Amino acid sequence: MAGGERIFVQAIRRYSADHGIAVDVRAGGWLIAMRRGNERRFAFGYDIGLNSAIAHRLANDKSATSEVLALTGVSCIAHHLFLNPKLGGNVVGAGWRDAMLELLHENPQGVVIKPNEGTSGRSVFKVTNEAELDHATGEVFSMCTGLVISPYVAIEDEVRVVLLSDVPLVVYSKQRGTDWRHNLDAGAKPVLLADGETRTACVKLATEAARAIGIVFASIDVVRVDGEWRVLEINSGVMMEALGKLHPELVQATYDAALDRVFGEN
């Protein structure tokens, strides 16, 4: 096994070895071909192919996710989409910066600016004034075709729920470190949640969110703000690298259950 290989890739290798599946790992582990007889399946990034194309696209688009959840009455954090002005005036329109400033003025506590697509908390900025707004939008637009702006809220707790067809396979909180974000790549620590009121509330909300966009296998981040739980985002690719270092058997069992579904196992 190659050194430094992602836990996701290792999990697929272990499952495949136990089920007579040939594995061909390409592109540094980001493309995995799995073959058993005449049956061939693929994993790409952290996606193993259980979700429909539209569910996958909705989940990977923060603005689209928040719009669909709002339409279906699922409590969520709003994400307002802004397209890169380099796409041209006919696509973007002339008032994009004024609309950004309006959102900033409506939220004196600040706003959060981040890419519309992407994970792990990269290129995420907290903005409280016009100069910070211009810096953040310049940074994000330098690498993305779209960004989202959401109101900055004081997050009391953040919980991730990994669902497979409404069944919660993993539920853990993200214990924040010195950073204001709860991203695991920013130093937050995953702590498994025991049965109780908090776990029940988070699973219920995550299940409602998954049903709203029609997704089968996903990780849903929910946050508590002013004592109320809201959906922050939905991830079509289920990444459990940090959790896998602490609870490898649970992570393997979760990927095994999803891969069982991929290959039609009971």
CB 5 within 8 A of CB 23: no
Residue 98 tokens, joined: 């004024």
**DSSP 3-state of 157:** strand
Rounded distance between C-alpha atoms, residue 148 and residue 136, angstroms: 11
Rounded distance between C-alpha atoms, residue 201 and residue 32, angstroms: 35
Q: Which of 15, 74, 43 is nearest to 220 (CA)?
A: 74
- pLDDT score recorded for residue 94: 82
Domains 53-77+154-257 and 80-151 share a fold: no
CB 160 within 8 A of CB 220: yes
Kindly report the CATH number that applies to the domain delimited by 53-77+154-257: 3.30.470.20
Question: Which strands form 22-26's sheet, in the order they lie side by side?
Answer: 22-26, 31-36, 39-44
Provide the residue ranges of all domains of the chain, joining segments of one domain with +.
Answer: 7-49, 53-77+154-257, 80-151
- pLDDT score recorded for residue 89: 80
Largest pairwise CA distance in the chain: 60
Task: Give the Å distances, CA to CA, from 183 to 15, 129, 159, 260, 266.
Answer: 28, 24, 11, 29, 34
The structure's pTM equals: 0.90
Task: Give the Å distances, CA to CA, from 85 to 60, 110, 127, 147, 167.
Answer: 21, 23, 20, 11, 42
Tens place of pLDDT per residue across the chain (266 aa): 445 799 999 999 999 999 999 999 999 899 999 999 999 999 999 999 999 999 999 999 999 999 999 999 999 999 999 999 998 888 888 889 999 999 999 999 999 999 999 766 678 999 999 999 999 999 999 999 999 999 999 999 999 999 999 999 999 999 877 675 556 655 689 999 999 999 999 999 999 999 999 999 999 999 999 999 999 999 999 999 999 999 999 999 999 999 999 998 76
Give me the helices (H) in 7-129, please.
7-18, 53-60, 62-71, 89-92, 96-106
Radius of gyration of the chain (CA): 19
Which class is 80-151 in CATH? alpha beta
- pLDDT score recorded for residue 1: 43
In 128-216 the beta strands, taken as DSSP E runs, fall at 146-151, 157-164, 167-175, 189-192
Q: Which of 198, 176, 203 is nearest to 187 (CA)?
A: 176
